[in-house]
Each structure stands twice: as structure tokens, then as C-alpha cells.
Structure 1
């Protein structure tokens, strides 16, 4: 089933708080237009106030969400520092930070295929669910089952290159959950072909987060 773009986000999406767990954000980027706040979770689990993005991935992901829900309150939660990799501890701390700070949506444009982390991520998802939040993450990509997006309690996303960037499609999974399918293209850059810009499952997740945040804002 295809779902058309949200048309009323400018007025109604303001209340929606979205935590973006990634490499931080360059808040002054014109496609981001500032954020409401954020935190960096260091590899040893300590918190730091410098959530500036030095890798670019988090900024691109945040720009996609901002495009879809421009009035939402965005919070950068930085766990990637030198590379796009982090221990499981900071990821769980980041999820818990989002819960403690009342995020309605938690965007995870990342994942792990390490099944040793399943139990701790299931417990984190239980805390997300208890708080009434929604964690959006990749379900599978290229035959790889990603955690936590493939676990019960997460909102699962898959790539659909044929889906327009302003829409998402849904299908039923075997466990009864709804799978959300979306474009993997990032926010367009004038003069740069879409195929040469950043793309992939990370941006399908961000597209879904932004569109759903818009809808939840409309619905109150």
C-alpha cells in the first residue's frame, strides 16, 4: 500500500520530538536549519556537549528528516566519532537518552548484524515501548538481518528504490508487524545527480521517520 506525502506538517508537526542517533549534526547546514539540542555519547559511555558532526552522515540523515517534518524538534545524539562504528554500550546509552528526554521518534540509520547484542537491544526496545516512543530502524538489506530494526518493538524499514521520496509503502511481515518501504535517496543537492549523492538504507529509514513524524504531528 502506498502512502502519499503529508501536506500539513508546517502547522501541526511542531510538537514532535525526534532523536537522531548518528554521527552528530552540523546544525548550521542550510538543509538542517538548526536543532533543538543534543548530546554526544563517548565510547566509554560518558556524555559530552559537543555533538558536532565531523563525518557528514548524521547531517545528511537529519536533513532528510527536516525536509519531511520541518517544524519538528530535532535532537542530535552522537555516537559515531572517528568512523561510522561504535560499541554497543554507547548505542544503548543513546537510546536511553532519547527515552529520558521524551523523544517521540528515535531514528536509527544504523544497525548491527551481531546476534550477541540481541538481548541488550531487546531490553532497550522494551524501554522505548514503555515510554510510548517509536524507534525506526532498518529491518534487512541485501539479505542481512539488522538489529534492532528486525526485532519486535522496532518499526522496521526496507529499501524501495521505486518509491517516490515523498512517500512510503507498507506491507505485512510474517510476524504481523507492518514493514515500511521507502526511497534510499538522500535530500537532493542542486547540480548533483541523485545517483552520485549519498544513498542507501540509512536514508530510507530517515525518510520514513520524517514522514511518520509529520503524520503524528497532524494527528496530535
Structure 2
């Protein structure tokens, strides 16, 4: 069972509410395997409006994945919103049943902050096993794990992922790691995220 603790202490000094918003979580899982739906929700989620800090001791979701200790912190400094989250010792075993690798990530983090008219993000990823990771990870670095039927993929893994709206509105969501199961269809589907941070300079309309 995954346990989450939230604290009411802000990451940054308290300031008058601004228009900017932000939130972060140490990870989440939402997958369907052989018609069984497994979902965790956002683990250790914080927001710039509170809860300002959160922690999870982690835990296993059957033979799908196991999350280790995770934490997050959010807040504001003036009109600037900041959100960050980190986690430790993640292991995904879900692909093993299909002949794929066990993926482990020792440490990871994601952070974002708003500016006057936009947002910026950064991630860190340490000691990954089960897939080949370059020493310098470019934005939206995509890895395909082969082995599905008729040449399809068992999964894709995106490292240092940034998602922005179209047309751009200054907001962004950044994920340290994003695992998508059987993106072309197969016996499983869904997504696993490690380290998520989202910021919007104009979030409060």
C-alpha cells in the first residue's frame, strides 16, 4: 500500500496570492493489464496553494512497479510559483512478464518555476538500469523497448519530458521519466510517471 503524508509548511516564504500556479508529485501510475486497472493517483503531491510539502514512503503495486521514498515542495515568492519533487529507488517489473527488462531508477527529480510570461523546468535522473541512457540527456529523449507482437514496442520511455500546450500559453509540465506501455496496442496499456512538476504563470484567471 502506498502511503502519503502532507505538511502545511510552504517551500518559499509566504507571499500575497498571485496569478501563478504550480504543483508537483513524486510519481504516479495508471495502467491496465489483462483487464485489471491499477492506479495510484499523484504520490506526494504539493501545490503552490497548499499542501506546500508532501511525502510518501512508497510501496509496491502488485507485480507492476514499486516506488521508494518520495517528497515534494511547492510555494511562491512574490508572483513566482515554484514546484519540485523527487523520488528514490523506483523499480518497474511489469515488462518482465512479456520478456522485457526490469527498469530501475535510483534517484530522480523534476522542478519548474514561473517567470513574468512563461515557465522553465529541469530534471535530474541518476543510475538507471534496464535501458541505455546517454550521459547527457536531451529534452524529450525517447527510448523504444522492442519485443511486442509483429514488431511493435513493449513500451516507450521518455526521459526529460516537457509537455506544453498548443498554442503556447506559458505553461509547461515536465516529467523526469515517462513510461508508456504498449503504445501501439497490446495486452497492457497506460502510463507511469516519475517526478512531475507543472507550472503556469497565468494559472489563476
TM (norm. structure 2) is 0.35
TM (norm. structure 1) is 0.33
Q: Which has the greater radius of gyration? A: 2
More helix by share: 1
